[in-house]
Amino acid sequence: MKRLLFMLLVCCIVFGSNAAFALVKSSQTNSPRPPADISGTVKDSKGEALPGVTVKIEGTSFGTVTDDKGNFHIQVKDGAVLVFTFIGYTEQRIPFTGQTSLNITLQDAPNLLNEVVAVGYGTQKRSNVTGASSTISAKEVAKRPLENVSQALQGTVSGVAVTSTSGQPGRDPSIIIRGVNTITGSTTPLYVIDGYIGGGPDVNVNDIASIEVLKDAAATAIYGSRGSNGVILITTKSGQTGKTVINFDAWFQKGEIPKELDLMDAYDFARSVNSQYVATGGLAPFSQQQLNDYKTNGGTDWQRALQQKPFVQNYQLDVSGGNDNVKYRVSLNYLDQPGLILNQWYKDTKFRSTIDAKLNNKMDLRIIVAASLPQSHNNSYNGGLVDPFNLAAEYDPLSPIRNPDGSFVQSAPYASIQPNPIAQALSQAVDNTSTNVDGQLSFNYRIIDGLTFTSNDVYNLGWSLNQTVFGPGTGSYISHSDYADVNSSKNTSYITSNYLTYKKTFGDHSITATALYEQSQDNGVSVDARSNNLSTYNLGYYNLALGGTQLTSSTYGADGLISYMARVIYAYKEKYEISASIRDDGSSHLTQKYSTFPSIGLSWNVGREDFLANSPVFSDFKIRATYGQTGNQSVGAYSSIAQISTAGNPSTAYYYSGAGGPASNATFLGSPAPLSLKWEVKTAYDLGVDMSFLKGRLTFVADAYTNKVTDLLYNSPNPQYVGGGNTQNNIGSISNKGLEFAIGGTPFASQKFKWTTNFNVSLNRNKVLSLKGLDNLPDGFGIIKVGLPLGEFYGYKFLGTWKTDQAAQAALYGEKPGDARYADLNNDHAITSADYEPLGNATPRYSYGFINDFTYGHFTLSFMFQGEQGNQIFSQTLAYLWGGLGDMKNATLAAAVPENLWTPQHQTDNPAWSNTSHNENNSSRYVYDASYCKLKNLSLAYHIPNDLLSRIKVRSLEVYVSGQNLFTITKYPGYDPEVYNGNTTNDQGQEFGVIPNPRTFTVGFRLGL
């Protein structure tokens, strides 16, 4: 870090010296000629005058507009460039070379459908794209201080649900495209970075030129088994012909937890404990004098004590340039991100180098080398009872953090029975250091006119070192399960994509054909060493020999995929398009290795028909319809092979010596091999329209889709098998149906002021259709049930409290008025798991994003709202804060003070303390409305005028301030309705002690030389 700051200081000194020299030099040059007058007329391609055209001197706020006859008059200095802009027309730039009059003809702007977009294994004009896709430009990415590419998708693309599930540094958000398509596998879409399939989301956001999101099966079927969750195509920036260009960006950010829970202070907590003890037959532990003392000192605020306000730094430097034969771009990025709680941070350094070489008239070569070096400290908290953030809300406010001698208080007599959260956070160490290097070679050979061979080869190397120690001060140490652990792993992967592309246009017909062969292989090894009960922890995890016992283990894994693909795209008069593809994938994971995935798409460019060609309203109008299939093979690499184990049922043991002996001399039966294990298959249909109006001033995109996933993969138990274990099986089907709408444009534009806006909304309905004859699959606090969507919560329905007039009915359950009341579905006068029922769902009814940019002169104000509506969240955090749940003896939530609980005189639905009452945490009492609307970003940028920058030889400079997650509109009483612990598709929306997303304030600049 010191070296980095020193380099920045040197850059500033050099830059400042050059700037001063340039200013001195400019003051010594001859004065320029006085401004000259220029007059002229602006017309369209048909020769008709264009009133209202903005005529501006580039880099300044000085300009004018044409009158009703298209005429203009302006004064211009030497070296100036006139810029002519008007909505619906291509911008035109005219250098001033002494002219006195100009006659300008503005051409119609390329319409929405003429845009060239990435489609996978090539590019197409959007007019020829039959599938559903969305584009995010580098300009949109640059509006916010982003740490990862996933954040760039949130609120910007319809049909893409991006959820920041944790506020820990270095965590990637969850991404779901058009609903959940599996019950056990990952929902993460496939990333393709410059043709590198499976490149991952860790690309530097400052290197991104554009992002293309492929959403329907016709667009993703060319990726076969990899494309079932959607595909995100990322094109990175490359060098351009001309002089060397240097860009340096930096931003600095201050963060904070945006909301704290309303917890009891020491006085209220002591009163609450007294009330609880007396109500349950005990004696009040605190005297009135003690209560008075607690009222004075307030006790310990554990929430505040654990928090910190991190200072985040991000630096980006890139250099690019080239000539007609060789172009280059090199970038370096550094992120330093402390966490929201003590003793937590994440750092990452990213490097990317791209060289494009034209070898001759037939051959091109691209070489990309990318590296990422992330480091983290204690950023792997997953929530739960023993995580410090959760404990800070549960902990006894009467207890101090440290003893009088300065040592940590280990535990508290009231509230949570877990260890001191401050001690836990400061004493543990979970450190990860990784190195990931990608080398990519892309070769293009133009065999004959229209026929091109492309080979794209990528090799990846990854190393990871995880070092962990839970010694004195941690809960593990208190329970005598302290340990230190070191895990080292190495992963390599290789993928080669080789394809022929034939493009031909003959008359009104055009055809593009692609034939592909692709192969990939992954290998991984790891070694783990663990030492328990070390004699001293002064050396941390650096001397595992100090432990009372040691355990070592190692792993190896490998898998592969072979694919063949063919695609044909045909267009007639650029009005009617048809695309068809077929892909065959072979996976090492399954018993039925190969599966075929077809797709077909049709589109009609209605806007190019004669009856709309000259429409004053429609600029573009296109109708799309698609069908396609994709697959999923998301099971372990050896799921099709019977397993053996080093431990298990003694009756299945095979002893190497022939008979008997210790378990270390034997192997045991593990999980059996599945008789048949085949691909999950998603069959999808899509109908969409792309429209633009008023010469591109307004755009509208709408899609309706439906998909069905069959042969769902599920890890089923084997109760009748002696070896036990689980086996992967194909078990059922689910469906997703939805609507997507996106509208955007430029409602207003003038010489000085411009307003652009974009709004998108997505609706998705998910349903479990079948489970191979079963009605449901219970899964913790969730359930997979036929007829219901995934993400369903399952437990007791809370009915409030028993009232005084219900005493006789309560007695049937061994309870009394004031106790918690739950629905008894089978009327057996007992509350058991037989009374579980669906309680709510984590899937939103709809999600949306709303983005606006207002430019006035050199200032740009931007804001983005993002939200979800109609989903629920199940909060175990709040359940435990009401107390009476095993590890949580007493309540700490302010709402649980005695006067808020049930009494005969004040019969609320907050149960009274009682020996007969039950606080069931898996109940609807803790299922809340998780709908929210967040101001995700608000920024104000100022572009320094070019006429000022030219004096110091600076190409561009922008400074900005911004805020993220500034406020949230929600009814949820917890920390953040967006976060949850869930790692699978069915436990989404289940929250237990998760660190919320931070509110941040950012200042930064972008410098171009």
Domains of the chain: 34-109 (2.60.40.1120), 112-242 (2.170.130.10)
pLDDT of 484 above 60: yes
* Local confidence band at 420 (pLDDT 50, 70, 90 cut-offs): very high
pLDDT of residue 10: 33
Rounded distance, CA 530 to CA 546, Å? 11
Average pLDDT of the segment spanning 72-79: 84
Rounded distance, CA 630 to CA 628, Å? 7
Closest among 390, 279, 106, 356 to 818, alpha carbons compared:
279
CA distances in angstroms from 614 to 611, 617, 620, 697, 699, listed in the order given: 8, 9, 11, 16, 17
pLDDT of residue 1: 44
pLDDT of residue 728: 81
Rounded distance, CA 581 to CA 592, Å? 22
CA dihedral 385, 386, 390, 392 (to 10 degrees): 130
- Tokens matching residue 903: 């009494």
Rounded distance, CA 929 to CA 894, Å? 20
* Local confidence band at 11 (pLDDT 50, 70, 90 cut-offs): very low
Q: Counting Cβ atoms within 10 Å, is residue 687 exposed (0-12), middle (13-18) or buried (19+)?
A: middle
Amino acid identity, position 513: A
Average pLDDT of the segment spanning 714-725: 71
Q: Are 692 and 699 in contact (CB under 8 A)?
A: yes
CA 597 to chain CA mean position, Å: 28
Q: Are 707 and 683 in contact (CB under 8 A)?
A: yes
Q: Are 819 and 802 in contact (CB under 8 A)?
A: yes
Q: What is the overall mean pLDDT for the chain?
A: 88
Rounded distance, CA 126 to CA 702, Å? 15
pLDDT of residue 587: 84
Rounded distance, CA 894 to CA 882, Å? 9
Closest among 891, 998, 1008 to 936, alpha carbons compared:
998
Model confidence pLDDT, tens digit, residues 585-616: 888 877 778 889 999 999 999 988 888 877 88
DSSP string over 193-210: ETTEET--S-S-GGGEEE
Q: Are 861 and 854 in contact (CB under 8 A)?
A: yes
Query: Rounded to two decimals, what is the model's pTM?
Result: 0.86
* Local confidence band at 456 (pLDDT 50, 70, 90 cut-offs): very high
Q: Counting Cβ atoms within 10 Å, is residue 753 exposed (0-12), middle (13-18) or buried (19+)?
A: exposed
Rounded distance, CA 374 to CA 172, Å? 13
pLDDT of residue 9: 35
Give the list of residues 6+ apart from residue 528 with CB closer than 8 angstroms, or none: 485, 486, 487, 488, 552, 553, 554
- Between 207 and 60, the more confident residue is 207
Q: Is the dihedral of CA 874, 875, 876, 881 positive or negative?
A: negative
pLDDT of residue 26: 36
- Tokens matching residue 887: 């590890």
Count the Cβ atoms, other than its own, within 10 Å of residue 325. Answer: 11
